[in-house]
Amino acid sequence: MAVDNLEKNQTASSRESLEKNQTTSDNLNDTANDSDSVSEVASTMAVKSFGVRQTEMEIEQVQGILFKVIFYFTVFICFYIKNVAATVMNVFVSYATNSYKQHSLMSTVGVIRGVAATASLPFFARLADTYGRLLLLVISILFEIVGVIIQSQATDVQKYAAGVAIQSFGHGGTMITLQVQLSDASSLRYRMLALGLVNAQTIINTWSTGDIVNIMQGKYSWNFSVGMWAFIIPLAYSPFILFYAYLMWRASQTEAWRHLKQDRRDYFLSKVPSAAKYYTGEPTGEKWYVELPKLFALKVAYHVKLIFWYVDFIGCLLLAVILGLILVPLTLAGGVSSKWQSGKIIGPLVLGVVLIPVWVLWETKLTSRPMAPFKVMKNRGIWAALFLSIINNLARAIVNDYAYPVLLVGMNATPTVATRTPKLTSFVAALTIGFVGLAVSRVRRSKGFILFGCVAMFVSMGLFVHFRGTNDGMRAKYYRDGIAIAMCISGFSQAFLERLVMVSAQSCTNHEYMAIVSACFSAFYRVGWTIGDSISGAIWTQRMYHEIEKQMTQLGVDPALAKQAYRAPYDFIKKHKWGTPARRAVSLGYAQVQKYLSITALCLTVPVVIFALLLRDHRLGDKQNLDDETFDDAEMGKSLADKTKTTVSFTNDKDYILIFLKKLIGRGGKTQN
């Protein structure tokens, strides 16, 4: 096996120091590859971390059709259950807040969910690069289970939000760990097909989740409907965890693993010299019941320090605090009466803004391991992908945040239809993404497909403006059908944007930084969605009550009913059937607010196109990353896990689209920065 070809005289310090890196400007020869993206590279070089080497050894065990089928199928099962659970629990968020008479805080809960998940992404990605993928997957599952249990037993919206935060922290960890494992096991050429497993299960779930919600509503409380996932989720993860544990066991039998184990011990002893006496094999003069606790305490202190600095714990915490302080108050300031003059709204906003330069200072000057390494993030192909993901998801969140109550209350949809219609976006995306992935694997380029997705997104947002913003409170089916069409086109556009933009960003770096780039992409993705939740929540809470009251006054309905319709709309529609003046006033109020939201989302498609044009267009090769195609003479014949030099950033793509556009405006020339 290739992993047995290690050079045994290579020292641990030269191979594995987590902090060692050097900058070179050598041009690497393009050997054994046909990509135009790896010639004449001037970039930063670094040494692989322990977790990346361990992962490469484990993935090397996935040989043969049977193992590959088991690997991808068990990952599919994980995503399938996660998708069902997320959909059902998101529906019951509205019922939970409705039971607390705090329905308008639904978007606030969404913001809390986004903030917690965003903070978890770089945290888990960094830890996975240090301790391996499996351990972090198990830890994140535990967080998710605890959060679900707290939600199911919550007696007020504050406790429910606390459960959401813990569950979302774990949910973000499982999502990024599974996505990174899919990327670990796939080549750039077929990466989009592999990542398509994240979406594939929605082909089934779109039609099943509505029935699940109906069954749960009819027989059980929302508490049970949420709490049951604390048992189902770990059960669904068991096949993948057991299979990956088997891969780890097989990898542990290799010579390379023994070298890795020794390297980890040597690194530990270099950082904690006082522990050396416990590894010499000679008597220390201490009793075993004294020696073991001391060694355990030294290891705990070492790992705490490693987590604190290597994972950039302070940076992750500051980011979560900033997002929470700024975004949550935006969704709380409105309602029946405005609270903008309140200190509890202004104070957090001001503090959040003040902490932004503190976070920037920490990331650029103080921490030894920034959350987003500058040498990687300065690559145009990466930062353009990050900003594109923010704005794309911001626009999508704005039009999707209140889709369920808009359909159920404003358009007289049944709970099944109101649940299924928003899922059409992910359903169509899942259907389309496989075909797009196959096309990308043939063309081996991504940028043209992404730009086409931007055009489709523009069309979908225009349809949302019309069908969500002009509802007359009478022709319910017409507007429901229009929204369904818009959702389908939106999903079609996301098949060209969501996963493919991540692949484009991953192609700009190596395996060592792939996890953190993926985590940053997913974090920006969630930041965009969280900001969208906040904007939609702010507009909803600021305008909805007043719009309903205004429409009731115009239709001759007692405006006192507006408070009930705003606070508990699901209870309101039970008393006021479709076609009554009071119900029509609510529909018209919903339409006016949705018009504001949809126009905002439409305007955001312009910067999406701009950032899409700034993406790089590397040729997608047959290796896990472009760096694996650049073995030098001294490393030929080695396992990927034994490769010591690793190119951090690739910037020399041949972007035919940008070349063409530059020629159009008379600025032809090289696209390389």
* pLDDT range class, residue 440, cuts 50, 70, 90: very high
Which range of 227-231, 291-295, 663-667 scores highest in mean pLDDT? It is 227-231
pTM reported for the whole predicted model: 0.78
- Cα 534 versus chain centre, distance: 17
pLDDT at 643: 56
- Rounded to whole angstroms, the Cα distance separating 405 from 411 reads 9
Q: Is the residue at 404 inside a domain?
A: yes
**Mean pLDDT, rounded, for 334-345:** 61
Q: Is the residue at 340 inside a domain?
A: no
Q: Which of 22-31, 168-177, 343-352, 514-523 has the lowest mean pLDDT?
A: 22-31
- Rounded to whole angstroms, the Cα distance separating 482 from 591 reads 14
| CATH code where residue 576 lies | 1.20.1250.20
pLDDT at 439: 93
- Rounded to whole angstroms, the Cα distance separating 89 from 163 reads 12
SS3 call for 44: strand
- Rounded to whole angstroms, the Cα distance separating 150 from 297 reads 32
Which residue in the block uniquely carries the two structure tokens 């996935």?
62
Neighbours of 158 (CB within 10 A): 11
Q: Is the residue at 1 inside a domain?
A: no
Is the pLDDT at 243 greater than 90? The verdict is yes
Taking the CA atoms of residue 364, residue 367, residue 371 and residue 373 in that order, the dihedral angle to the nearest 10 degrees is 60
Q: Is the residue at 524 inside a domain?
A: yes
Q: How many residues does the chain have?
A: 673
**Mean pLDDT, rounded, for 525-532:** 80
- Rounded to whole angstroms, the Cα distance separating 292 from 247 reads 30
**Mean pLDDT, rounded, for 23-38:** 36
**Mean pLDDT, rounded, for 516-538:** 81
Q: State the chain's mean pLDDT as an integer.
A: 80
pLDDT at 452: 94
Q: Are the C-beta atoms of residues 522 and 121 closer than 8 Å to each other?
A: yes
- Token digits for 626? 């472009």
pLDDT at 339: 61
Q: Which residues contact 409 (CB under 8 A, 6 or more apart)?
A: 569, 570, 572, 573, 586, 587, 590
- Rounded to whole angstroms, the Cα distance separating 569 from 103 reads 8
* pLDDT range class, residue 55, cuts 50, 70, 90: confident
Query: Pick the residue with more confidence: 176 or 36?
Result: 176
pLDDT at 38: 37
Residue range 346-403, pLDDT digits in tens: 888 889 889 989 988 888 888 877 877 777 888 889 999 999 999 999 999 888 888 8
Q: What is the CA radius of gyration of the chain?
A: 26
- Rounded to whole angstroms, the Cα distance separating 59 from 53 reads 10
Residue range 145-193, pLDDT digits in tens: 999 999 888 887 788 888 888 998 999 899 989 998 998 888 888 999 9
Question: Structural domain of residue 510, as residue ranges?
Answer: 64-253+370-614
pLDDT at 281: 67
Question: If you ran DSSP here, which 8-state letter would residue 410 be given?
Answer: I
Query: Pick the residue with more confidence: 138 or 312?
Result: 138
Is the pLDDT at 29 greater than 50? The verdict is no
- Rounded to whole angstroms, the Cα distance separating 508 from 651 reads 7
Phi first, then psi, for residue 23 (nearest 5°) are: -100, 130
Is the pLDDT at 34 greater than 60? The verdict is no
Q: Which of 242-251, 311-320, 367-376, 624-633 has the lowest mean pLDDT?
A: 624-633
Q: Is the residue at 672 inside a domain?
A: no
- Rounded to whole angstroms, the Cα distance separating 332 from 328 reads 7
Q: CA-CA distances (angstroms) from residue 341 to 199, 331, 541?
A: 43, 14, 15
Q: Is the residue at 50 inside a domain?
A: no
- What number of helices (H) and strands (E) belong to the chain? 28, 3
Q: Is the residue at 584 inside a domain?
A: yes
Residue range 281-332, pLDDT digits in tens: 667 677 777 778 888 888 888 888 888 887 788 888 888 888 778 777 766 6
* pLDDT range class, residue 483, cuts 50, 70, 90: very high
Residue range 561-608, pLDDT digits in tens: 888 888 888 888 888 888 888 889 988 888 888 888 999 999 999 999
- Rounded to whole angstroms, the Cα distance separating 125 from 474 reads 50
pLDDT at 665: 81
Count structural domains, the chain: 1
Residue range 253-283, pLDDT digits in tens: 988 888 888 888 888 888 888 877 777 766 7
Query: Pick the residue with more confidence: 530 or 633?
Result: 530
Q: Is the residue at 479 inside a domain?
A: yes
Q: Which of 94-108, 174-188, 408-422 has the lowest mean pLDDT?
A: 94-108
